[in-house]
Amino acid sequence: MDKVYISQLHVETIIGVYDFEKESKQSLYFDIDMLTDISAAAQTDDINLAVDYAKVSERVIEHTTAKPVELLETLLEQLAAMILGEFNVEQVTIRVSKPAAVQQARTVGVEITRAKH
Ligand SMILES: Nc1nc2c(c(=O)[nH]1)N=C([C@H](O)[C@@H](O)CO)CN2
């Protein structure tokens, strides 16, 4: 299967378990791998037959900033369902990093893989 990907998409949003995290935005960085068959897009040179990484990026930013959640896990499940539901993607892997969360670590985060069933 082919892959369309987005690397280090930066989004500022309210996210976190603790009260202080609900008061100011933090940076999240997303890496998204989307498995899809690119042959129809390649043969026709038609963006409408491609998984448009710009549109996926827009939707990820929109969803992430729309309604705050506490856990990265919750956000990733929602984003995976959105991408599989709205785009021609068979399987998606999303990794989110929250670099300010643990002072002693360069970054921390969560990664999930979900497929269409
Ligand atoms: N597995 C997770 N662990 C933690 C999360 C999370 O979303 N998933 N979140 C926090 C806090 O919000 C943290 O970022 C603040 O330091 C802690 N652990």
Q: What is the DSSP string of 72-108?
A: HHHHHHHHHHHHHHHSS-SEEEEEEE-TTS-TTSS--
pTM value is 0.97
Gap from CA of 56 to ligand 1 centroid (Å)? 25
Over residues 34-71, the pLDDT tens digits come to 999 999 999 999 999 999 999 999 999 999 999 999 99
Has the ipTM of the complex gone over 0.85? yes
Residue bearing the CA closest to ligand 1, atom 7: 71
CATH architecture, domain defined by 2-115? 2-Layer Sandwich (3.30)
Instruction: Identify whether the C-beta of residue 51 lies closer than 8 Å to the C-beta of residue 89.
Output: yes
pLDDT of residue 82 exceeding 90, the answer is yes
CA distances from 56 to 11, 22, 39 (A): 13, 26, 19
Cα separation, 20 vs 112, whole angstroms? 27
**What is the reported pLDDT for 117?**
82
DSSP type of residue 1? -
Q: In the chain, what are the domain boundaries?
A: 2-115
**What is the reported pLDDT for 15?**
98
**What is the reported pLDDT for 68?**
95
Gap from CA of 83 to ligand 1 centroid (Å)? 23
98 is catalytic: yes
**What is the reported pLDDT for 76?**
98
The dihedral built from the CA positions of residue 95, 98, 99 and 102, taken in this order, carries a sign that is negative
Which residues are bridge partners to 107 per DSSP? none
Residue 17 vs residue 117, higher pLDDT: 17
Mean pLDDT confidence for 3-24 = 98
pLDDT of residue 107 exceeding 90, the answer is yes
DSSP 6-63: EEEEEEEE---SSGGGGTS-EEEEEEEEEEE--HHHHHHT-GGGS--HHHHHHHHHHH
